[in-house]
Amino acid sequence: MKLPSTVVFLLLLGVRSMCNTASAESLFDARQGFITTLVKKEADGSPVPNPPKNVLQSVKYNSPIGDLAAYITPSPQDGKRHPAIIWIFGGLSNSIDETAWASTRPDNDQSASGFRDAGIIMMYPSLRGGNRNPGFHESFYGEVNDILSALDYLKKQEYVDPKRIYLGGHSTGGTLALLVAESTDQFRSIFSFGPVADVRAYGADALVFDISNRKEFELRAPVKWLHAISKPTFVFEGTDKPSNIAS
């Protein structure tokens, strides 16, 4: 992926050790028992395109909302367990499509195909309300649970090393990657490209939940839960516009 000329890079590691962990609540704990209120019920409805043979295959994985679509690298059939990465696209559709394999300009390459070219197993999960999946978009809430479910699916693949599973995302996918990093310690490492600190940055029109409820925002704000990160989490942002460098 080609990034703007000046790139700011952060490594979020050991943040938890600098906090009072006895009183610092994790994002996972804070979400327990909370039910988000959706004021708009939006879903994509587009079909999942068939991927190129021997590059990716279409699968279903089970999440709390039901069975969701995904692409995954087929087994290399070499009897080995390989490192793997779950990659989340940018955009708000929660869907997967030709972006996973189509050639595109290097300054907006969301496929993360460099991982695949290096021999790393890739999984691109579609999330609730995406494609023809059950459920509706939840603007960075239930989607976190879907990504955790994708992790459970990936761990069970016989050609995947369950101790070497990574997570990455671009733009809105980067924001989701941070929220997941604050919700679990099961990924070996997380890579977040261009996230926001607070989802208010997307604007009220882009959000589907009750924006009058402060807690709805708190449970979606990556900056509030940095203390919950326990695995190396890399954040990348360019200084050239458009950029989330302020975050």
Q: Over the chain, what is the mean pLDDT?
A: 91
**Range with lowest mean pLDDT among 71-80, 160-169, 198-207, 235-244:** 235-244
CB 216 within 8 Å of CB 243: no
| pLDDT above 90: percentage of residues in the chain | 80
Q: Name the residue among 242, 83, 233, 93 with its Cα closest to residue 173.
A: 93
Residues 116-153 have pLDDT tens digits of 999 999 999 999 999 999 999 999 999 999 999 999 99
User: Residue 88 pLDDT > 60, yes or no?
Assistant: yes
Going 172 to 133 to 218 to 208, the CA torsion angle's sign is positive
pLDDT tens sequence across 192-201: 999 999 999 9
Q: What's the pLDDT tens digit per position in 202-234?
A: 999 999 999 999 999 999 999 999 999 999 999
167 vs 5: which has the higher pLDDT: 167
Domain assignments of the chain as residue spans, ordered by start? 7-236
Q: What is the pLDDT of residues 51-78, one digit of tens each?
A: 999 999 999 999 999 999 999 999 999 9
Q: 7 pLDDT exceeds 80?
A: no
The residue-averaged pLDDT of 41-45 equals 97
Q: What share of the chain is helix, strand, coil (3-state, %, to 5)?
A: 25, 25, 50
Does the pLDDT value for residue 16 go beyond 90? no
pTM: 0.92
- Give the pLDDT score at 172: 96
Helical H segments across 42-156, by residue range: 113-117, 142-155
Region class of 72: left (phi > 0), else alpha (psi between -120 and 50), else beta:
beta
Nearest of 149, 172, 152 to residue 160 by alpha carbon: 152
Contact 226, 192 (CB under 8 A): no
Domain 7-236 of CATH type 3.40.50.1820: yes
With cut-offs at 50, 70 and 90, classify the pLDDT of residue 4.
very low
Q: What is the pLDDT of residue 247?
A: 83
**CA 120/CA 44 separation, integer angstroms:** 29
pLDDT at 18: 45
Task: Say whether pLDDT at 21 is over 70.
Answer: no
